[in-house]
Amino acid sequence: MTTTDDQQSLKDEIADLEKRLHDAKSRLNPSLEPSTLVKDEALHALLLLSDSALPLGSFAFSSGLESYLAHHKPSPPSASQLPSFHTFLRLSLSTLASTALPYVLTGHRHPEDVETLDNDFDASTPCTVARRASIAQGRALLAVWDRSYKAQYTDSTSAATASLTAFSKALRTSDTLNAHLAPLWGLVTRVLCVPLHEAAYLFLFSHARTVVSAAVRASVMGPYQAQAVLSSAELKERIRGLVGEGWDVRVEDAGQSVPVMDLWVGRHEKLYSRIFNS
Amino acid sequence: MTFTSPFAASSAKAGHGSIELAILPPDTPVLRNISYQYPLKLVAPDGIPPPEGDDDNTPRLIHTVFLLTYGGGIVAGDSINLNVSLESKTRLVLLTQGSTKIFKTPDPTLVSRQHMSVHVAPNSALVYLPDPVQPFAQSAFSQSQIYHLEDGKGSLCVCDWVTSGRPARGENWDIHAYTSRNEVWTCSKDVKKRLLLRDNLILDKHGRTGMRLSERMDSYAVFGTLIIRGRVFQSLSQHFMDEFDALPRIGGRNWGDDVQVELSAKEHRRVKRQQQETADGLIWSAANVRGFVLVKFASREVEGSRHWLRDMLREEGSMLKSFGERAVLCLK
């Protein structure tokens, strides 16, 4: 009987000590709270951008998957297209990392260069289908910024915010600006205080999610299989590796690593029937 | 005793070359300067008059220069640097004699390089239709072709294609690395130069695909890009776009309810060409972007692409008329 009481009082004492330790720590380090504030700020923005309800219209694009499957008909026709899909996802991520990721990173690091980045990305996108998809999503992102986020991020001293506002304004009158997704993704994440690595990771992850979701709607796989692909260690490792590989690549050195991808995407227009815009 | 040479100091550097095409007044195009250093070699036969002039801007002579290398290929560590300039109202055809072979390198970090910088004045035109680059197994090569269009004018029809190596020896993209860059810039006297087009191909071990390069190539042995721009090649550009539009739909079915119409001679040739494309496993796409027509093609074997390019250029015919048969010599 006494032992139980002793145990209980010891437990109370420990709880009390822990509480006092915590109080002492927080008094010692008053910057603890603001730092979690910054982290939460970034986390909040990350959650906004990763939400599948973000109105970018990404669901309308398969990034070449539909055309790829049409070029690789399984035999017999009843065979699963799943192996084809896995190959495509790898190639598609590799292409995106070699062509667009450097623009995301540079857009985040150098907000003032957004107009040049936009022009150079446009010059480097060789086919109308990919161009249409990139511009549609870039413009949608800009619209979300203008209509929804801008009011919350009124820090007019920030150079990034100023660049974004200027770009958005110039786009209305200019006939040379396009608003491609990659450089704008870098710039918008910078304005929303998302750290560079997270911004790049999310860019590639969102692409994987778009392709996987297109695969579900093209009846290549079911929704549970889709989640399994997205949560797989393989995908994590791949995205992490690609961000690492692309970290120091200059935009001048961005280029196509899977040349046949340009053909698949470019020939999407020639499909007899199609459910996606790219 | 000091002696001052009356001649300018030699500026020749290994692998450097220069081609300057100028107008000798009143209206004769001449190769004002053509120089080269080992391992680059340039061969310039006499200019020939074009079979047919299209307007006042057609020069009286079309010049052709062959880009060659000693030993018929590029050895590890070679570096070639060529400058080309075209004055207004001149036309130049650049060709090779056989594929550019890239020999294997003892060390993947020892990369052979070829750089070409071209300045094109308004109302001039360049045709660059070389044989494909053929990188052998364990080679490392990087090339860049940079075109500067004065005021964004001037005409270009340039092709860049690469093959899988020596299929007869079982080579199938067994290279260490291959990169090829094509850039077109517009430059004016007082405005900052602006990038019009960048086509950058990077074949190396990066990309985290976990696949061999041959798998990444989806069993194609040739990849090519054709870049067309400018007034001189307007009808050729249109031809590529029209033919792309006329390609049969992928996955379309013949329900047998189409009325069989009598085909015109042109349509008949089109059908023949499309059948040949299927037989050669050739796929292609064309896009009209930023004032260019950009054509991408791939086929199972080199000859498939070669025949296809030749058929496309021949069917339309304007290049042969304004530049002569020599322009398509590498496609024979």
The answer to whether residue A57 is domain-embedded is no
The answer to whether residue A186 is domain-embedded is yes
Number of domains making up chain A: 1
pLDDT tens digit string along A188-203? 999 999 999 999 999 9
The answer to whether residue A53 is domain-embedded is no
Contacts of B284 in chain A (CB under 8 A): 263
Q: What is the CATH number of the domain that holds A155?
A: 1.10.4190
Unique residue bearing structure tokens 């120091």: A248
How much is the mean pLDDT over chain B? 92
Q: What is the mean pLDDT of residues A226-243?
A: 97
| H or E element at residue B159 | strand B155-163
pLDDT at A29: 63
Q: What is the mean pLDDT of residues A211-237?
A: 96
pLDDT at B5: 75
The partner residues of B182 in beta bridges, in order of sequence, read B145, B199
Q: Could B285 and A127 be called an inter-chain contact, meaning their C-beta atoms sit closer than 8 Å?
A: yes
The answer to whether residue A273 is domain-embedded is no
Residue B95 to residue B68: CA distance in whole angstroms: 9
Q: Could A97 and B208 be called an inter-chain contact, meaning their C-beta atoms sit closer than 8 Å?
A: yes
Residue B294 to residue B286: CA distance in whole angstroms: 6
Query: CA nearest A129 in B: which residue?
Result: B287
Q: What is the mean pLDDT of residues B254-273?
A: 82
pLDDT at residue A108 greater than cutoff 70: yes
pLDDT tens digit string along B300-315? 999 999 999 999 999 9
DSSP A12: H
pLDDT tens digit string along B65-95? 999 988 779 999 999 999 999 999 999 999 9
Residue A255 backbone phi and psi in degrees, to 5? -170, 175
The answer to whether residue A4 is domain-embedded is no
**A53-57, A246-250, B26-30: which is most confident:** A246-250
The answer to whether residue A19 is domain-embedded is no
The answer to whether residue A123 is domain-embedded is yes
Owning domain of residue A173: 62-70+79-260
What are A's interface residues with B at a Cβ cutoff of 8 A? Answer: 67, 70-71, 87, 90-91, 93-94, 97-98, 119-120, 122-128, 131, 238, 241-242, 245, 253-260, 262-263, 266-267, 270-273
Determine the residue among A180, A243, A256, A261 to mutate to test chain B binding: the one whose Cβ has the most chain B Cβ atoms within 10 Å. Answer: A256
> Distance from B293 to chain A by nearest Cα, in Å?
9
How distant, in Å, are the alpha carbons of A193, B76, B77 from that of B108? 41, 9, 11
Query: CA nearest B197 in A: which residue?
Result: A123
pLDDT at A37: 81
Q: What is the mean pLDDT of residues A269-278?
A: 90
pTM of the model: 0.90
pLDDT at B301: 95
Residue B14 to residue B314: CA distance in whole angstroms: 38
The beta-carbon neighbor of B250 closest among A91, A242, A272 is A272
Contact A142, A181 (CB under 8 A): no
Q: For A100-222, where are the alpha helices, taking DSSP H only?
A: 101-109, 114-124, 128-144, 159-173, 181-191, 196-217
Per-residue pLDDT band for B2 (boundaries 50, 70, 90) equals: low
Query: CA nearest B192 in A: which residue?
Result: A116
The answer to whether residue A248 is domain-embedded is yes
pLDDT at A156: 65
Q: What is the 3-state secondary structure (H, E, C) of A250-266?
A: CHHHCCECCHHHHHHHH
pLDDT at B258: 65
Is the preceding peptide bond at B39 cis, omega within 30 degrees of 0? yes
Residue B296 to residue B204: CA distance in whole angstroms: 20
pLDDT at B11: 63
